[in-house]
């Protein structure tokens, strides 16, 4: 796996790969990789012949009160894991390379970004489309893979490529879960052992809500299981989607109805 840190080096490497006939797949990440991310790489490998993974903790998608500073950064460990699944290029850009002229962005998140996450993180999706459009520009992939765990993000990105005629196929990959059904997330690293037990009820309660459609009951069940606060449980895109707080950790998950 090649580790590349500048946009120029990336462009020349990608140009070489394209001349050699490669189809470029892309998996953007913020690092602290787990099996969920590795499954995205495996999925990208099925749809392309050269997979680029980026690691960049993007400041514009965090609000000032959020966990940008404490977000886990584990570059060496991440690189080793990516080797095991056959990623071809690891792109590790700096903030200066991606935002050379500040954080302004002509591309804005569309309708898919209304409600749900955006009610609680109003600047989040503009930050996501800002960075993803910049990364797409740098990598110029044929396909890009995003996890279904961030289901609203996946819809926002699909809408972005349609609206701005970006010629990249967006592929959604299924959520990877622990044996207890907890959706893998870099933020699970914040949870204590006791909190992991409580967090593992989230998926069961949401899954049950896909049958009952009783979202108020699901909220009550989450609070009785030990969750501290529910941001939302709603049905959209034929999915039950939820976000809830356990101590200082905010978890999200979703299930097909
Ligand atoms: O899903 C994520 O990890 C991030 O939102 C992404 C897509 C890498 C953009 O920073």
Spell 76-102 as b/e; 16+ CB within 10 A means b: eebbebbeebebbbbbbbeeebbbeee
pLDDT band at 22 (very low <50, low <70, confident <90, very high): very high
Gap between the Cα atoms of 88 and 90, Å rounded: 7
Mean pLDDT (whole number) for 215-242: 98
**For all residues of the chain together, what is the average pLDDT?**
97
Mean pLDDT (whole number) for 163-189: 97
| Mutate-to-test residue for ligand 1 from 58, 73, 172, highest number of ligand atoms within 8 A of CB | 58
Tell the CATH superfamily of the 2-173 domain: HUPs (3.40.50.620)
Mean pLDDT (whole number) for 58-86: 96
Tokens representing 33 are 């990789």
- Residue 135 confidence (pLDDT): 98
Q: How far is the CA of 153 from the centre of ligand 1 (A)?
A: 8
pLDDT band at 121 (very low <50, low <70, confident <90, very high): very high
Which residues does the annotation mark as catalytic? 37
Q: How far is the CA of 72 from the centre of ligand 1 (A)?
A: 14
Gap between the Cα atoms of 129 and 107, Å rounded: 7
Spell 166-202 as b/e; 16+ CB within 10 A means b: bebebbbbebbbeeebbbbbbbbebbeeebeebbbbb
Q: Which residues line ligand 1 (CB under 6 A)?
A: 28-30, 58, 61, 128, 131-132, 150, 153
pLDDT band at 256 (very low <50, low <70, confident <90, very high): very high
Q: How far is the CA of 174 from the centre of ligand 1 (A)?
A: 16
Write out pLDDT tens, residues 186-217.
999 999 999 999 999 999 999 999 999 999 99
**What are the Cα distances from residue 161, in Å, to 54, 110, 138, 239?**
19, 11, 15, 22
Specify whether the CB–CB gap between 35 and 184 falls below 8 A. Answer: yes
Task: Please name the residue whose Cα sits nearest to atom 3 of ligand 1.
Answer: 29
DSSP β-ladder status, 143-147 and 89-91: unpaired
- Residue 195 confidence (pLDDT): 98
- Residue 80 confidence (pLDDT): 98
What's the longest Cα–Cα distance across the chain? 58
Domain boundaries, the chain: 2-173, 186-256
Residues 6+ apart with CB under 8 A from 114: none
- Residue 192 confidence (pLDDT): 96
Task: Please name the residue whose Cα sits nearest to atom 9 of ligand 1.
Answer: 128
pLDDT band at 28 (very low <50, low <70, confident <90, very high): very high
Gap between the Cα atoms of 63 and 11, Å rounded: 31
Mean pLDDT (whole number) for 222-233: 98
% of the chain exceeding 70 in pLDDT: 100
% of the chain exceeding 90 in pLDDT: 100
Tokens representing 207 are 């899954």
Mean pLDDT (whole number) for 249-254: 97
Task: Please name the residue whose Cα sits nearest to atom 8 of ligand 1.
Answer: 29
- Residue 90 confidence (pLDDT): 98
Class of domain 186-256: alpha beta
């Amino acid at each position: 796996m090649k580790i590349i840190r500048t946009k120029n080096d990336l462009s020349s490497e990608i140009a070489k790969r394209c001349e050699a006939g490669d189809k470029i797949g892309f998996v953007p990440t913020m690092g602290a990789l787990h099996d969920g991310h590795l499954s995205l790489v495996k999925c990208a490998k099925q749809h392309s012949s050269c997979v680029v993974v980026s690691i960049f903790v993007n400041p514009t998608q965090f609000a000032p009160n959020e966990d940008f500073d404490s977000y886990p950064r584990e570059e060496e460990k991440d690189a080793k894991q990516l080797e095991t699944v056959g990623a071809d290029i690891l792109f590790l850009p700096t903030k200066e390379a991606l935002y050379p002229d500040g954080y302004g962005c002509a591309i804005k998140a569309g309708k898919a970004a209304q409600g749900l996450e955006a009610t609680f993180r109003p600047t989040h999706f503009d930050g996501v489309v800002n960075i993803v459009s910049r990364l797409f520009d740098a990598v110029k992939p044929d396909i890009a893979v995003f996890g279904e765990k961030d289901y609203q993000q996946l819809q926002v990105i699909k809408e972005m490529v349609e609206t701005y005629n970006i010629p990249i196929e967006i592929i959604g990959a299924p959520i990877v879960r622990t044996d207890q059904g907890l959706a893998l997330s870099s933020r699970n690293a914040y949870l204590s052992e006791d909190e992991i037990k409580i967090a593992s009820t989230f998926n069961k309660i949401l899954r049950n809500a896909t049958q009952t459609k009783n979202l108020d009951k699901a909220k009550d069940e989450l609070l009785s299981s030990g969750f501290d606060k529910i941001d939302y449980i709603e049905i959209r895109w034929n999915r039950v989607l939820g976000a809830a707080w356990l101590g200082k950790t905010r978890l999200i998950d979703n299930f097909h109805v």
